[in-house]
Chain A
Amino acid sequence: MIDYRKMGLKVGLEIHQQLSTKHKLFCQCERFQSDEFDTHFDRRLRPTQSELGVIDPAAMFEFKKGKIIKYHANRESSCLVEADEEPPHDLNMEAAESALIVAMALKASIVDELHTMRKIVIDGSNTTGFQRTIIVALGGFLKTKDRETPVQTICLEEDAARLAADHENYREYCLDRLCVPLVEIALSPVEGPPEEIQDIALSLGRLLRATRRVARGLGTIRQDINVSIRGGRVVEVKGIQKLDLISKVVEFEATRQSGLMEIKSELEKRGAKAEGVGLPLDVTKVFEETECELVKKAIERGGIVVAVRLKNFSGLLGYEPYPDIRLGREMAEIVRFYGLGGIFHSDELPGYGITIKEMKSVKRSLEMSDVDAFVLLAGPKDSIFDAAMAIVERARDAIQGVPYETRGPTPDGKTRFIRPRPGPARMYPETDIPPIPITEELLSRLKKEVPKPWEAQIEEYSSRYGLSRKLALQVFDSEYSELFEEMALKTKVQPSLIAATLTETLVGLSRAGLRIDRLDGKDLGELFISLDKGRISKEAIPQILEVILREGVELEDAIKKTGIVTISEEELFQIVERIVKENRNLIKEKGGRAFSILMGRIMKIVRGSVDGAKVGLVLKKRIENEMKE
């Protein structure tokens, strides 16, 4: 068991939540996601030079690869603004108000004037090459069960385009999500076990949902976390979409970083120095007649083989302080960024077709001793030195412990390298948008819109609608809390049934592999209204929903398709009558105990058309009559 306190684990959360505004942040397009795209265009982004002529190395590498960016746009969800063919329109004040309300709910200090900035991002996720972002407030705190977490900043910004595919020579993005307003809340790094961190994220999410101004559903909220342990540097894990992944990711990172610190102390003991990591050396000659398929292929394609000497690293590239955590593996992840398949290192050699003789040759070329290690790379001339230099950097970082880098979550809660350290954020003013003063009038109007704490809203769900706390939380966290309230007020359907349908039933359908995001709120509302009017029975609900999702039909058609039209009372009487008559002997024999058998037979006929409870009542009465006779 890892002692997180002892290792000095610190986690800073950064939450990005889409706002449910009528239109996007700097244009009049509506939020709307579609798989149909009618407009396509290609662009290249070039890194702008800074005052020192310095370009972010990662950005420069991307540019050198010459990747073309292909954009796909749907005319309903994107206009010339998203295509970067028209200057941004005025700031969407509905979005600004939402961000201000969030700031007030977090007791943050709101700035006096909003300034839109351009934050350079040149991976193509923004057509402009920058993300527009505005600081709305500073400070404040998030209150959870037993702690107050300080807020650093609250920003209003535009969401990025959706990555559709990444190919060797080009990358594809869809523009529908681009420019959707986001509120970004950065919390100060705090100490605590992973579950507690996850709990803070959950509370913050609920605080946001309580404003009723945020979008719901998968992909509408994303968490970035900054994880560090004592003595190491901060690692950024970007884009965690599922809340329950946070604790796993924190746990994995804490473990990985501890492992790296162990390697560091071993290197320290051996007296490893940054200078001991040599510069890449071309060793293609050694492999001219190699049996190693990978190296052979690379050379055949005109590529070269490069070796890097790591002084005092022997045994440490393959060393596994914790399962799956190895320096060699980290290096392999890094070179993938540069388009190479992986690396060979001396701890795993001879092997993969590389012979002892070849190893010895490399060692001689690198003037190595037995305590040293080496890394081999094979690939195209134009990118291999960049990759090799990244290995040099990574090895030097290993002597320091944990390198500062950007990682991404894997579906199972681990992390993988995605980008080398980005330079300091490059920001400059968005001169197309004038500054916007925040007036006292605006603030005092918005003050009235600051929601009750989410705990109070949950209480209300329990006291007013009779939901269990668990169900109340479930429906509050779902996409449908507003629909729930509307239907609970509008219909006489039992609130707990509405809540359970909107949560458990839908989750069940989703687990069955159905795309519940295709359901729209209106259909669900109509479903409860139909139930209220007695047109369908509550038993029929899952089946109707399933037909809608499986066959992509409208609610009305689904009701017809499932053949579930409520039968009249008279019809029910007739069915009961028939079954009772057919089973007179059984009733005589078993008396009241015949009920459950007959009930089963009747339900087989009427399931979905009539409420089981009602069938029970009618049947019970009829059996009693029969017995009296």
Chain B
Amino acid sequence: MSELAGYKGSSLVLLKKSGVSIGDQIEITTPKMKYNGILMPRYEYADDLHIVIKLPNGYNVGVDVGSVHSIKRVSEGIKPHFAPPLTPPINPKLPRVSIVSTGGTIASRVDYRSGAVHPALSASELYSVVPELSHYALIDAEVLFSIYSENMKAEYWSAIASKVAEKVRDGYQGIVITHGTDTMGYTSAALSFALANVPVPVVLVGSQRSSDRPSSDAASNLIGAVIVACKAPFSGVYVVMHSDMSDDSLAVHLGTKVRKNHTSRRDAFESVNTAPVAYIKGKEIEKIKPNLPPRREDKEFVLKPNFDTRVALLKFYPSFDPEIIGYLVDKGYRGIVLEGTGLGHVGSYCYGRLKEATDRGLIVAMTSQCIWGRVRMTVYDTGRDLLNIGIIPLDDMPSETALVKMMWALGNADGIEEAKELMIRNLVGETNYRSDIERRPI
């Protein structure tokens, strides 16, 4: 934190002139009041007209710069001191689980004096913040990135996949990846393809309510993820999050079939067009779906961590401008995933540009913006026309998974035909050929 973080303009000038820094004990005199307290950082997007001070009762107030007579430094600030947390005793015979963090703090500690939130990242910090972890596993924690979910990129997927492969070869019984929730579904799909046939469970986990609050879902989700990582009889890439508003009900979703379907709820993540592969109630994994790839002792699997980002996901809408497709073709894109209407349609005024795209060797595939249901392009003329142009229907695959899969297919296949063939083939459960009779099967 810089000495006067967040301050700008007139408030910054005044503070500089007064020679005070954030954390200092100061006294501000105005015609109405004399404030004693600690100088606090300024909220970045707030105006430059106020100085924030923390009063002895713990409250913050903003003081109008214009009304300030004087600012005096009473004493220098005390730097926050973090005592080493106590680690509970751990049974060395427990399974080894690696926790790789990529961003989005799953555990944190609060400095109540300055109001700052500090992420808890090391294994010992995780144990001390979430002591239950010590019942299940010997944790090893590693910070790979520290980025916001929305800043995630395909190159990071590659790095995460390589890191997981390394951990598998090191003999961990399971790997947990903490991730910001916004793009966790994309990452889970990417890892599903890059780590196909991985012998142990790879579990992505996040939190919908920040970990600095007592009500955060972070700890229960993390415990659930660790339980799956060390106890699940199956292997593969999964997402563990709340299955409803209650803290003791978690669901395990298949990495290629999971979608964030709510902006804020704890149960935002849902399995789309399929049931979760399992649930976690208390300490137990329940209702495990049959036919999941089993956990294996051998460490044999092929890592394919390449992604070609020259792929776009286009949502069709009334008055969609087909020139967008033309632009992508001209820019050298190699693939387009369409999120069409209904059973998989786009306006006939797009045919020309789409034909051009397939003629120029782009893979163009169709998913539906309905989210639920299957693409069926043989029902209406429009669909049949599109099939004739060479658009590949992707059945019930979520459009985000389709995008990631196409990047991966183009990144790892030998030529366009092999990539097309990969797109159609079900590799890691991304496509179901049978639709459950229930809308949201459990």
Contacts and interface: CB of A to CB of B under 8 A. Distances in A.
Q: Does chain A bind chain B?
A: yes
Interface of A: 39, 41-54, 68, 80, 83-87, 109, 111-115, 117-120, 122, 127-130, 133-135, 138-139, 153, 155, 424-429, 431, 434-435, 437
Given A85-B266, A109-B33, A424-B58, A435 B215 contact: no
B291 interface: no
Contact of B50 (A50, A84, A113, A431): A113
Nearest to B63: A112
11 contacts: A41-B244, A41-B246, A42-B248, A83-B245, A84-B209, A112-B63, A130-B213, A135-B61, A139-B33, A427-B58, A429-B115
Given A53-B83, A87-B264, A115-B59, A129 B215 contact: yes
B81 A84 contact: no
B265 interface: yes
Contact of B86 (A53, A83, A133): A53
Q: For B33, B80, B117, B215, which residue has the most chain A Cβ atoms within 10 angstroms?
A: B215
A51 B59 contact: no
B67 A112 contact: yes
Contacts of B60: 115, 117, 135, 429
B212 interface: yes
A424 B86 CA distance: 22
B61 A50 contact: no
B120 to A, nearest CB: 8
Nearest 8 A-B pairs (CB), nearest first? A113-B62, A129-B214, A427-B58, A112-B64, A41-B245, A115-B60, A428-B115, A42-B246
Interface string B89-118: 000000000000000000011111101011
Contacts of A127: 215
B62 A115 contact: yes
A138 B208 CA distance: 36
A133 B59 contact: yes
Contact of A427 (B83, B112, B265, B266): B112
B54 to A, nearest CB: 8
Contact of A435 (B50, B208, B219): B50
Interface residues of B, number: 57
Contact of B246 (A43, A54, A429): A43
B171 interface: no
Contacts of A135: 55, 59-61
Nearest to A138: B33
B2 interface: no
A121 to B, nearest CB: 8
Contact of B110 (A44, A112, A428, A434): A428
A413 B204 CA distance: 55
A117 B58 contact: yes
Interface in B32-54: 32-33, 40, 43, 45-47, 49-50, 52
Interface string B199-210: 000000000110
Given A112-B64, A115-B61, A128-B215, A86 B265 contact: yes
Contacts of A426: 58, 110, 112
Contacts of B212: 48, 428
B128 interface: yes
B111 A51 contact: yes
Contact of A48 (B61, B86, B109, B266): B109
Contact of A112 (B40, B61, B208, B220): B61
Nearest to B68: A112
Interface in B98-150: 108-113, 115, 117-118, 120, 128-129
Contacts of B82: 51-53
A128 B40 CA distance: 24
A195 to B, nearest CB: 29
B352 interface: no
Given A86-B264, A138-B33, A429-B60, 19 more contacts: A51-B109, A68-B248, A109-B32, A112-B50, A112-B62, A113-B62, A115-B59, A128-B213, A130-B213, A135-B59, A153-B57, A153-B59, A155-B59, A426-B110, A428-B112, A429-B40, A434-B46, A435-B46, A437-B50
Contacts of B120: 49
Contacts of B109: 48-51, 53
A85 B208 CA distance: 8
A130 B213 CA distance: 8
Nearest to A139: B33
A49 B245 contact: no
Contacts of A130: 213-214
B51 to A, nearest CB: 9
A4 B174 CA distance: 68
A465 B77 CA distance: 62
A425 B57 contact: yes
A534 to B, nearest CB: 55
B226 to A, nearest CB: 16
A50 B112 contact: yes
Contacts of A435: 43, 46, 50, 52, 62
B247 interface: yes
A53 B85 contact: yes
